[in-house]
Amino acid sequence: MVRIGVNPFQVRPGNELRQSLRERVEATIFQLRLNDRTCRNLRETYACDYWAGDISFNYLSRRAPFIALELERQGRLRTS
């Protein structure tokens, strides 16, 4: 499983992965540049816009499903 660290919005392999799979996931993250500043900033923008009430969870789920799933998994959905 791949997880997002909500702060500072980095993508990282889940702790439950075998070492061989973890290395492959880390290589993929690096190759796709998923933790470059631009990608991290975009993930942060989506999350902050959601938390501020500027976008709905439905919109977040459509536009940034990975962010939506991680916020839900981490129990970081807004309450209102």
Q: Could you read off the pLDDT of 5-29 as tens digits, one per residue?
A: 555 789 989 889 999 999 999 999 9
User: Between helices 37-51 and 65-73, what is the axis angle to 10°?
Assistant: 60
- Domain coordinates in residue numbering, the chain: 2-73
Give the position of tokens 């690096």. 30
Model confidence at 53: pLDDT above 60: yes
- Rounded to an integer, what distance in angstroms lies between the CA atom of residue 1 and that of residue 11? 11
Q: What is the H or E stretch that residue 14 is in? A: none
* Weakest-pLDDT range from 29-33, 53-57, 76-80: 76-80
Output DSSP code: residue 78.
-
Output DSSP code: residue 80.
-
- Rounded to an integer, what distance in angstroms lies between the CA atom of residue 24 and that of residue 20? 7
* pTM (two decimals): 0.83
